[in-house]
Structure 1
Amino acid sequence: MTTVNDLSRTERTVRVGRRDIFVTEAGSGPAVVLLHGGGAGATGASNYARNIDALAQHFRVIVPDMPGYGRSTKEIDQEDPFGDLAAAVGGLLDELDIEKGHLVGNSYGGAAALRLAMDRPDKVDRLILMGPGGIGTTRALPTKGLNALLDYYRGEGPSREKLASFIRDYLVFDGAAVPDELIELRYQASIQPEVVANPPLRRPSGRSALRTLWRMDLTRDPRLAQVRAKTLVVWGQDDKVNRPSGARLLAATLPTCDVYLAADTGHWVQWERAELFNELATAYLS
């Protein structure tokens, strides 16, 4: 079923393999898929609230809730999460009859986009990656911000206070700029019973934990150096979740990679520096 809201966006659910993917769309033109991060309570429309309308002036903007989040099916293969997410995004493009699209990914979504460029290069035109996950993650201890993210459902479980602390202390440069309404929206999404019972982003555990960690470090995959999609990496210099040094690592590995480091910016570049990001993305994808 397709619905239309008052901002000329359409919303619908698309069946992709074993899962339902909830999708928001706006605009027309070349397809640009916006993939959100993996923070608790994240959704596509909320993560890209400051970008969808601006980009829709030039492109067909497709914003899914990733599997495990929002109104999509709460199921992810925890032994190969990035591969599973990439398969879901590729399948979504197939179902929407999109031969090839631009992919824009923040954090978790950036890792999914990069993995799709390795798994199905025919589906990917250009890439924009903002503080992507999976870049050198097995080469150093996790950051405090990543630990806070992975611990959200552990211990005493989720709480509004834990989520507010993660967002304001680690996700952005200026925590005071994050409104209470956004935190409440994310908190309510984070405590859906299905999500609490099966968190989509968690620390690998069990016998396969080492193998999972290895798979989630995309820099260990020799195919990374063979990615032909032209790539723009945008990273906040004050990112406390994924280290900005990952930008240099990608620039040294990807065949065609431009890097933009944003000053006084944390992990959520597209939200904190929306005007800058929208201009960069429009120019690069045009």
Structure 2
Amino acid sequence: MADIKIESRFVRVGELNIHYHEAGSGPALIFVHGGGPGSSGLSNFSRNVEAFADRFRVIVIDLPGYGKSTKLRITEPLWGFYAKVLAGFIDALGLGKAHLVGNSLGGAASLKTALDFPQKVDRLVLMGPGGGYSLFEKQPSDGILSLVTFYMPPGPSMERLKAFLKYLVFDPSSIPDDLLQERLNQAMDPETAEFMPLRAGPNMPPIDDLWRERLDRLPHETLIIWGREDRVNPMDQGLIMMRQIPNARFLVVPRCGHWVQWEKADEFNRTVSTFLAQ
């Protein structure tokens, strides 16, 4: 990412202080990160920003509860809350509308934004999004259980983080030590730990079942991408979405886990660039 300038910025969305990174110019493209321990926008999409910044205004948001954005107790259904945040974020930046590219939690938030605020979304890219239902695998998955129990006794540690991150990728050796340390530092921040949205316990917000919503009314051109070996949100969840969303394309990536944008960054960047240019 040395060839482009990535700027760190903040914007107010209602009572929330939202942090984001920005690079490039052109049509607005918002990357929306996943919800694991220590997650943030740039830590999820560091291998993708440069590939898009020559043609798009790339905006990498930290959702509330993550990164440098406001930490708070979320009491309403999670995807609906984040949809309102993303819609307000688009308005606060004066974008009118934007392409949304979301992974996992960010995929669910992006999909819910398109459902509730369709005029604010251009094209939609969903990578292993939450809110689905598995036809063939147990629910919740081992990856989800590892995520939501991360803060349970004996508490967060590098060993526990590595145990979770192995569910994100097909090849755990692909995650460098500096990213592990960055995520652990963020996860152990006291405010982050207290207000982690996906933390098992009485304060965990309700999770919307997006597959039950009227996906057949979604007008957007949609690209659904799934790692075949995804152990967080199993790949068969995408079959329901593909069947229901009228303008959906479905790409399955072999030898790849939940983090397609990381493990298969070159393929992801080419495929998404082509889709957004159509």
Alignment TM-score > 0.5, same fold = yes
Matched AA of 2:212: R
Describe the SS at the equivalent of 1:171: coil
Of residues 211, 215, 220, the one that matches 1:229 is 220
**Counterpart for residue 252 of structure 2:** 261
Q: How do 1:84-95 and structure 2 match up within 5 A?
A: 84-95=81-92
The structural deviation recorded for 1:6 is: 7.8
**Counterpart for residue 162 of structure 1:** 160
The structural deviation recorded for 1:140 is: 5.0
Q: Structure 1 residues 228 and 275 mapped into 2: Cα distance closer, same or farther (>3 Å)?
A: same
Of residues 26, 30, 34, the one that matches 1:33 is 30
Of residues 127, 140, 143, the one that matches 1:142 is 140
Distance 1:59 1:85 in 2: 23
Distance 1:197 1:47 in 2: 21
**Counterpart for residue 271 of structure 2:** 280
The structural deviation recorded for 1:200 is: 1.9
Contact 2:134 2:237 in 1 (8 A): no
**Counterpart for residue 77 of structure 1:** 74
Matched residues, percent identical? 43
**Counterpart for residue 172 of structure 1:** 169
Distance 1:78 1:129 in 2: 25
Contact 1:111 1:132 in 2 (8 A): yes
- Show structure 1 runs of 4+ deviating over 3 A: 137-140, 203-206
Of residues 200, 210, 220, the one that matches 1:218 is 210
Contact 2:82 2:109 in 1 (8 A): yes
Contact 1:78 1:204 in 2 (8 A): no
Structure 1: segments with no counterpart, 5+ residues: none
Distance 1:75 1:217 in 2: 23
* TM-score normalized with structure 1 length: 0.92
Distance 1:244 1:181 in 2: 29
The structural deviation recorded for 1:204 is: 6.3
Q: How do 1:8-87 and structure 2 match up within 5 A?
A: 8-87=5-84
Matched AA of 2:25: S
Q: CA RMSD in A?
A: 1.8
Distance 2:169 2:75 in 1: 27
* TM-score normalized with structure 2 length: 0.94
Distance 2:258 2:106 in 1: 13
The structural deviation recorded for 1:76 is: 4.9
Q: Structure 1 residues 61 and 82 mapped into 2: Cα distance closer, same or farther (>3 Å)?
A: same
Distance 1:227 1:44 in 2: 26
